[in-house]
Structure 1
Amino acid sequence: MKRIFLVEDDREIAKNLSRLLAAEGFSVFHAPTQRQAVDMLGGNAFDLALVDISLPDGNGFSVCTEIRQTQDIPVIFLTASGDEASVVTGLNMGADDYITKPFRPRELIARIETALRKAGRAAPAFQTGGLSVNTASGIVEKDGKEIYLSALEYRLLLVFVNNPNSILTRDHLLDELWDAAGEFVTNNTLTVYIKRLREKIEDDPAAPRIILTVRGLGYRLGGGHAAE
């Protein structure tokens, strides 16, 4: 679950934003003042910050500076309508984006998802059985821990992820691996790579639940789902 750091002094706006973000699957951490925001940054790691420029004891620019010194995350400024000077200042300070109040909820969510995607923090493209594959960053994780695949193992996994509802014949897989490897991949080699991949991604390689064998036909991907 992605962690959003919300710095907003208006309690009503903060409450509504927190509900919206929670409904979209984010975990929200709210600070209503500059001082509280700086304190929260000291002991927490976040994936993205939404920062109101106007705060009762300072401003969002100071919070942005503190974020940039402590965490490498996208920052989106929340700004009053028509405050062009503040927008320019924020972007010059390294903010990734800004959105003007009042804003449409779907527009805000789209901006957040775009910023996360650019930062390589977007939701995984595929997840199942404790396995997540983030095709934007190339990171594969099992139970929250990164696992390391060879280039050919990763390519093989991507073929399954990109064809979630298909039975893949051995010939199809061989063609895909030939394109990626630039070398001849035999039937025996394919068997070895499937075995190695299962050893890395399955809870029990002897009883696989992610890469399933379809007897007489080939293989298919087991019960995962693509992120929306």
Structure 2
Amino acid sequence: MIDLYYAEDDETVAQAVKEYLEQENFRVTVFSMLAGMKQALRSRQPDLVLLDWNMPDGQGSELCGWLRARWPWLPVIFLTVRGDSHDVVGGFQKGADDYVVKPFELEVLHSRILALLRRTGQVKVNCYHCDSLTLDMDKMSVFCDGEELVLSQPEYQILLLLMENKGKTVTRKQLLEKVWDSNGNYVNDNTLTVTIKRLRAKLHQPACLKTIRSFGYRMEDTL
């Protein structure tokens, strides 16, 4: 399923786009204000962003610039009425990947979205999200609110296991076996406790990393 954020203040247009794309196996979250999308982006980044050029609280180009500074890989498409298309071309050159002029056929918008995702390779199965945390397996990188964090190998492997099993409890035994024993390195239980403590500190004490007393740990969205 393709995860898409859509900024649109026209409820009729937003509902039509949402219903059509959801039939095409998209998960669409609609925002009537740029501020709402900005807040959501801090917690979780989708596969693609649709931005209406003119919104009640600003222009899409403003949010696009903010977004590009934090997640330059995230594909963005501007939606605009024909009279604004000249300005949108400028915005497109400054950061968006494509733009579509209103009124548009839903089939055309869908095909442009798929073409962009194929071009940028952003249908990501190797990218995990939980609250404001992102783990990118392709880059072997971890981000918090767009800021890249430096983790040790055991810390990264623990977080990866928890992210892969988001919503499920991973036992301490499983973590010890998969992170250390698989490499032929036996460690005691206290090593895991210390590593988790260091991981929490580097992740800025995230509420989404929960301790399940006497069992293990679980990643779980809280926002």
TM-score (norm 2): 0.52
Partners of 1:174 and 1:137 in 2: CA distance: 24
SS, match of residue 108 in structure 1: helix
The aligned residue for residue 151 of structure 2 is 149
In the TM superposition, what whole-angstrom CA distance separates every residue of 1:144-180 from its partner, at most 9, and x where no partner exists?
Answer: 2111212221111010011112211111011110266
Q: 1:198 to 1:32 in 2, by over 3 A?
A: same
Letter in 2 for 1:214: I
For residue 221 of structure 1, report the CA deviation from its aligned partner. 1.5
Equivalent positions of 1:22-41 (< 5 A) are 25-27=49-51, 28-29=77-78, 32=85, 37=89, 39-40=90-91
Contact preservation (8 Å) 2:128, 2:164? no
Larger Rg: 1
201, 209, 212: which one aligns with 1:211: 209
The aligned residue for residue 199 of structure 2 is 197
SS, match of residue 134 in structure 2: strand
Letter in 2 for 1:26: L
Question: How high is the sequence identity, in percent, across the aligned residues?
Answer: 26
Contact preservation (8 Å) 1:214, 1:220? yes
SS, match of residue 170 in structure 2: coil
Partners of 2:196 and 2:111 in 1: CA distance: 42
TM-score (norm 1): 0.51
Number of residue equivalences: 155
Partners of 1:143 and 1:212 in 2: CA distance: 19
Q: 1:109 to 1:221 in 2, by over 3 A?
A: same
Partners of 1:104 and 1:174 in 2: CA distance: 50
Contact preservation (8 Å) 1:131, 1:140? yes
SS, match of residue 223 in structure 1: coil
Contact preservation (8 Å) 1:139, 1:146? yes
Instruction: Provide structure 2 residue ranges, at least 5 long, that are not aligned to the other structure.
Output: 6-12, 19-27, 31-47, 52-76
109, 112, 116: which one aligns with 1:108: 112
84, 95, 104: which one aligns with 1:45: 95
Partners of 2:118 and 2:201 in 1: CA distance: 34
Partners of 2:172 and 2:178 in 1: CA distance: 10
Contact preservation (8 Å) 1:126, 1:224? no
Equivalent positions of 1:1-228 (< 5 A) are 25-27=49-51, 28-29=77-78, 32=85, 37=89, 39-40=90-91, 44-46=94-96, 48-49=97-98, 103=107, 105-117=109-121, 124-128=127-131, 130-178=132-180, 181=183, 183-202=185-204, 205=205, 209-223=207-221
Runs of 4+ deviating beyond 6 Å:
19-22
For residue 133 of structure 1, report the CA deviation from its aligned partner. 2.3
Partners of 1:110 and 1:186 in 2: CA distance: 49
Partners of 2:88 and 2:197 in 1: CA distance: 51
Contact preservation (8 Å) 1:152, 1:180? no
